[in-house]
Structure 1
């Protein structure tokens, strides 16, 4: 039930987040989203956001500001200088979002990952992506022994996995299914991510890399 105090634009954003999370971008129409937002005007979405792509961008802008503020606060508080601390500062706000009542954000991002929609990030302002760029730089510097492009590949997929794990938990909570206590879930996930990032590069992988031409990596969505 949409709260009366929520603006029309916010009602539409929240309804779109849920519909895109459940049905994907192709399975949710602007008409359905408008109706779910409690708006009888079928052109309300187009009036406020222009298109489905504009609405997707608005969802990211709506969520990322708060996520980035939390990330920056954690970095300022903890002053991370090792791999685990940096992973925690970046992942904790994402997983916290999934704990909020009625949240569908992680499931929404997971859907975009499934369909490889990196183009949606290219339209976001650089200030919204700044914390993610800083995270990539700092973690990359701590993984100097992992050669490129494997280093960037690992970082991207570690963060994509954190979204997928958070989305599964978000969906389980929505279905009232049992889940691990949050602190246990967080600690175990960070353990796994750090282990994946730190894993030595095997001779088999090095050999495969040496015999492969220039790579055009399609990295997953994880703002």
Structure 2
């Protein structure tokens, strides 16, 4: 059945996804009844979420995938132009598509992702193309910070992605509240400087000592976009 279009040209499913993204970002994954999402999306059917997505989890998965494909595709284009051995450029290619989302006032994806990360969304539930992109990123960065031993290397890469997500979500919230933020070019450049420093700093003696007594298995890391 062909879906009816909303007044602004979005399909009913797309309107539900974008409305839920905003509401979940503002109120949390457990703070929004499905009927409210249907109502604010302008649906006459108050069970529209169940009709289109089957369940709340189906809706959450659709919100995640809605922008994740574009993130992964843009990363692939940026990575295709990477010079060898440039850690800053590798990080930029992976994180810049996320940084850009904070500049879109109508995009609540970053704050939604913060909610999802708190739920420890596993990597194996994400699309295969994104899983491959994430593993490739870990491998590229890891090859450029070999002075950092495992499993500390993977922990740092994961923490850098978490840092970027939370700082970008904070920037979007500040812009929406009308607070002044740093100019975009300065924000991006400073962010990349900080992420490179976080990844490449030599481990301290204290950290290396703690690492020696840590379990040998790599820690389980929750998926990040």
- State if a TM-score over 0.5 links the two structures: yes
Q: In the alignment, what sits opposite 2:143?
A: 141
1:19-38 correspondence runs (5 A): 19-38=23-42
Deviation at 1:87, TM superposition (A): 0.4
2:79 is paired with a residue whose SS is: helix
RMSD of aligned alpha carbons = 1.7
Contact map agreement 2:105 2:172 (CA 8 A) in 1: no
Q: Which of 178, 181, 184 does residue 182 from structure 1 map onto?
A: 184
Number of equivalent positions:
220
Bigger Cα displacement from structure 2, 54-63 vs 186-195: 54-63
Whole-angstrom distance in 2 between the partners of 1:133 and 1:171 = 30
Query: Which structure's residues are more often helix, by fraction?
Result: 1
Q: Which of 8, 27, 41 does residue 12 from structure 2 map onto?
A: 8
1:10-89 correspondence runs (5 A): 10-79=14-83, 81-89=85-93
What TM-score does the superposition give when structure 1 sets the normalisation length? 0.92
Whole-angstrom distance in 2 between the partners of 1:168 and 1:117 = 20
Deviation at 1:128, TM superposition (A): 2.7
Contact map agreement 1:67 1:94 (CA 8 A) in 2: yes
Contact map agreement 1:109 1:221 (CA 8 A) in 2: no
1:179 is paired with a residue whose SS is: coil
Decide whether aligned partners of structure 1 residues 5 and 222 sit closer, same or farther in structure 2, where only a CA change above 3 A counts: same
Q: Which runs of 5+ in 1 are unaligned?
A: none
Decide whether aligned partners of structure 1 residues 218 and 11 sit closer, same or farther in structure 2, where only a CA change above 3 A counts: same
Contact map agreement 1:116 1:221 (CA 8 A) in 2: no
Q: Which runs of 5+ in 2 are unaligned?
A: 1-5
Deviation at 1:176, TM superposition (A): 1.9
Whole-angstrom distance in 2 between the partners of 1:215 and 1:64 = 29
Contact map agreement 2:124 2:131 (CA 8 A) in 1: no
Whole-angstrom distance in 2 between the partners of 1:86 and 1:188 = 15
